[in-house]
A and B are shown apart, each in its own frame.
Chain A
Amino acid sequence: MSALAEKLMVTPVDETSGYDTIHELGQQRLMQYGFPDMKTEEWKYTPLRVLEKRAFQDPIEATTALPSWPVDGVVLHFEQGVLTSDPATLPEGVKLSPISPDLLGKKDYDPLYGQREGAFGWLNLAKFKQAWHLEITGDQTVILATTLSKAFEAQVHPRLLIDVAANASLKLIEDQRDQGQGLINIACEINVAEAARVEHVICRQNAESVWIQRTDVDVAKDADYRVSAFDRGGRLTRHDLNVHIKGAGANGEIDGLVLLNDRQHVDWHTEIAHCVGHTNSREAFRFLADGSGVGVLNGRIHIHPDSDDSHSDLNTANLLLSDDARINIKPELEIYSEEVTASHGATIGQLDEGSLFYMRSRGLTEAEGLALLKFGFAAEPMMQIQTPEIREWVLGQLKEVL
């Protein structure tokens, strides 16, 4: 067993939780496959040295103040990975309960997590303390606030399953703020049922914690799932976002913006899988890498056999703003159907000198001109957020940072 596995796997399976079978499965797979290293294709640009060096303490109780959000909705606060809101006080149409062990046990995790590359998925299954099931009907807004306090030095593995009922509509804001130096390893599954709509916004600002998250989304017939991620960097962040389009007429869209600075490493692995035909998807992702930041994007479009009339496009434009910054991108296409269109475009470059010159000639200082150019570049993917209040809120944060 590797040092990392030893460090993260010390706790024995708790047989009284009711989740013992699923914990055992996670533990067994993790022991079998181990943790990824630089030779694991899916992790080749993201070393886990930070994690290896870190010593974890037991979680301590702390309370972090919550910010305000631009829209009213149900706020579910996860403080250091533990739910602090009361599930009993939720309004009609929003139901939160522990996931039943039966429901968890039914799912086949092998094709989802794979082997070594999905080690953190298996780790989550092996070690989660709380696993919540959020069920949505009607038209709802839910804010998932995850905070890690300054004193956070633990490892936590929250698990969440979100079921959005047929014809329902959900605005989901994940507001993630880290001030600690531990490990958070989130596994989230979202099922978007027939003709349901989900507008998902992820706002993340990390400090020293290692933030690992996987979001697996299933989109049913005629459903619409759109996610916009605004990632302001962190010591080590890895997000696997997999959107499986499983019904005809469904649509999946991913927009992402990552700002990077000194000693930050952010790795996004996205996959859009067209499992059936007559489906559409789109992805746009931008990285602005400054200081000694490292950005990684692996964007995959996978069109399965017999998925004719699938259309997909991935676009990634990236800015290298300093001599020490690095960007590694890998846009992949894996196509097994004939009557499809799939394309990707990727660029890495710098801010346009000509535009900067123009702004300076109009009286702006160099810093102002640069900020304006950066904002113009960065704002584009965030403009796709449908709800105006949320869009303005995100753009406001972006302006503040730039």
Chain B
Amino acid sequence: MSQTVEQVQGVIQKRYAAGFTTDIESDMIRPGLDEEIIAMISAKKEEPEWMLEWRLKAYRHWLTMKTPNWAHLNIPAIDFQALHYYASPKQKNRPQSLDEVDPKLLETFDRLGVPLHERARLAGVAVDAVFDSVSVGTTFQKELKEAGVIFCSMSEALQEHPDLVREYIGSVVPHTDNFFAALNSAVFSDGSFVYIPKDTVCPMELSTYFRINARDTGQFERTLIIAEPGSKVSYLEGCTAPMRDENQLHAAVVELVALEKAQIKYSTVQNWYPGDENGKGGIYNFVTKRGDCRGDDSRISWTQVETGSAITWKYPSCIMRGERSAGEFYSVALTHNHQQADTGTKMIHLGKDSTSKIISKGISAGRSNNSYRGLVRVAKKATNVRNYTQCDSLLIGKTCGAHTFPYIEAANASAKVEHEATTSRIGEDQLFYCRSRGLDEEEAVALIVDGFCKEVFKELPMEFAVEAKALLEISLEGSVG
């Protein structure tokens, strides 16, 4: 009992350093979900009429749907009428530049290590920062504009480039796709929009940082990336939320469109608040991410490091429509305490000579459950398709679970599909060797886990790889002994 309250809090802070709250006045619309609320969100964003119609259509469809229960998850009932569907930090006028943004907001992102201001110049990454339901600022817009790249918030895109949005929104993830995609289509409040023109290599990494701050809210962002023929872009995404006792909902939709010979690389480090040691609080992360390799020779690559969230339900997918198109999925999912994750990918091969690769690493500790769920489908007309899947699970502790549910559907005789999966604990011999070299048990586990995840980390942009490694180490603290 010698530990003081401060020491305990210090440890908690260390475990989830992003768990602070920003004391800022919020502009919220009343809780509940009905057509009036949707009209209010649309009005607040000054959206064109067709957008409101689109939202209402999605909402009416959502009313006919049931919460999915097929995942290996125990999802408590969510009261969709108790949530606030729109919350934004109060600002008198829409800021025209980052200098006009409330310093408290800037401070928040600064504390989270997101380079919004002068540091942005050093980091060389363009950032769109989303706070609750709105984007607070996007950096480097001018520089990107010179290259012809559009990188802005979804709200801004609806004002400035409505035709582009209208052409592509919902074309990869239609509102009828699933329960949470329908909900998002009805109430999405912001997100990022990226357009890379023909034969353009985006001059810098693009990044969005999502932050939930307000209480009793859900975050429903929508991201749309369009890569015109011959273009190339790398996009990074990060997210955090304060530590709260109640659960909060995050239901995002990400749509990627890669046209002929275009390449999109989408990396995520997901660090939503996972809840405390007893499973109280945390974010429900129900996300639909899908990329459409529409053109021949196009390529979409998903890399994700999932350490946060109380419940993760997420399957970043690729549809290989173009000939010789390629899809990749690299994932590390770590669950600890009472976290639950059901994550994986779908690789749908429609085009001839298309290829896909899946590398998934799951680590379960504490009382958590971690599932890989993946689908590889080879359509009847897709000849010479090649897929390779590897999913490995690591168990740390006796009370956790690691599961693998791969679906393989082959309808073309020339398909070559390979899948392998293993589940094991950390090798005693590896642990013993590390300890004999002077590492303590926790360091040894961190080192072994790092090695286990290496294949995925090497796919991440350098800054993210460092962050991901540190996150894993922190998330694993207390899992040994």
Q: Is A335 an interface residue (CB 8 A)?
A: yes
> Do A341 and B421 touch (CB < 8 A)?
no
- Count CB-based A-B contacts (< 8 Å): 110
B contact residues around A12 at 8 Å (CB)? none
> Do B413 and A345 touch (CB < 8 A)?
no
- Interface SS, A side: strand
B contact residues around A342 at 8 Å (CB)? 422-424
Complex CA–CA separation, A347 to B70 (angstroms): 25
| Interface residue from A41, A333, A336, A348 paired with B404 (Cβ < 8 Å) | A333
Q: Is A366 an interface residue (CB 8 A)?
A: no
**Segment among B101-109, B321-329, B391-399 that sits at the interface with chain A:** B391-399
Interface 0/1 of A330-374, CB less than 8 Å to B:
111111111111111111111000000000000000000000000
> Do A320 and B425 touch (CB < 8 A)?
no
> Do A333 and B421 touch (CB < 8 A)?
yes
Given A339-B425, A341-B423, A343-B422, answer yes or no on A333-B415 (Cβ-Cβ < 8 Å). Answer: no
For window 318-338 of chain A, which residues contact chain B by CB distance below 8 Å? 318, 320-323, 325-338
Shortest Cβ distance from B410 into A: residue: A348
> Do A346 and B419 touch (CB < 8 A)?
yes
Complex CA–CA separation, A198 to B411 (angstroms): 37
- Interface SS, B side: strand
| Interface residue from A305, A332, A335, A350 paired with B413 (Cβ < 8 Å) | A350
> Do B421 and A335 touch (CB < 8 A)?
no
| Interface band, chain A | 35 or more
Chain A CB count within 10 A is highest, among B405, B422, B423, for B423
B contact residues around A329 at 8 Å (CB)? 407-408
For window 362-417 of chain B, which residues contact chain A by CB distance below 8 Å? 380, 393, 395-417
> Do A335 and B393 touch (CB < 8 A)?
yes
> Do B402 and A345 touch (CB < 8 A)?
no
A contact residues around B405 at 8 Å (CB)? 330, 332
Shortest Cβ distance from A306 into B: residue: B398
B contact residues around A341 at 8 Å (CB)? 422-424
Q: Looking at the assembled complex, report how far the CB atom of B421 sits from the nearest CB atom of chain A, in whole angstroms.
A: 5
Shortest Cβ distance from B405 into A: residue: A332
| Interface residue from B395, B396, B404, B418 paired with A332 (Cβ < 8 Å) | B404
Shortest Cβ distance from B369 into A: residue: A336
> Do A331 and B415 touch (CB < 8 A)?
no
B contact residues around A332 at 8 Å (CB)? 403-406
Interface 0/1 of A204-233, CB less than 8 Å to B:
000000000000000000000000000000
> Do B413 and A321 touch (CB < 8 A)?
yes
| Interface residue from B380, B398, B404, B414 paired with A338 (Cβ < 8 Å) | B398
Q: Is B420 an interface residue (CB 8 A)?
A: yes
Q: Looking at the assembled complex, report how far the CB atom of A304 sits from the nearest CB atom of chain B, in whole angstroms.
A: 10
Complex CA–CA separation, A345 to B416 (angstroms): 14
Q: Looking at the assembled complex, report how far the CB atom of A254 sits from the nearest CB atom of chain B, in whole angstroms.
A: 18
Complex CA–CA separation, A259 to B397 (angstroms): 43
| Interface residue from A41, A330, A340, A350 paired with B423 (Cβ < 8 Å) | A340
B contact residues around A337 at 8 Å (CB)? 395, 398
| Interface residue from A325, A339, A348 paired with B416 (Cβ < 8 Å) | A348
Complex CA–CA separation, A306 to B400 (angstroms): 11
B contact residues around A335 at 8 Å (CB)? 393, 395, 401-403, 423
> Do A347 and B413 touch (CB < 8 A)?
no
> Do B421 and A331 touch (CB < 8 A)?
yes
Extra contacts, 9 of them, besides A325-B413, A344-B421, A348-B417 (Cβ < 8 A), are: A308-B398, A321-B413, A326-B410, A326-B411, A332-B405, A335-B401, A343-B422, A344-B404, A344-B419
Interface positions of A (Cβ within 8 A of B) = 41, 45, 305-306, 308, 318, 320-323, 325-350
23 chain-A/chain-B pairs, Cβ below 8 angstroms? A320-B413, A327-B408, A328-B409, A330-B405, A330-B406, A330-B407, A331-B419, A333-B403, A335-B393, A337-B395, A338-B398, A338-B425, A340-B395, A341-B422, A341-B423, A341-B424, A343-B421, A344-B404, A345-B421, A347-B418, A348-B415, A349-B415, A350-B414
Interface positions of B (Cβ within 8 A of A) = 70, 380, 393, 395-425
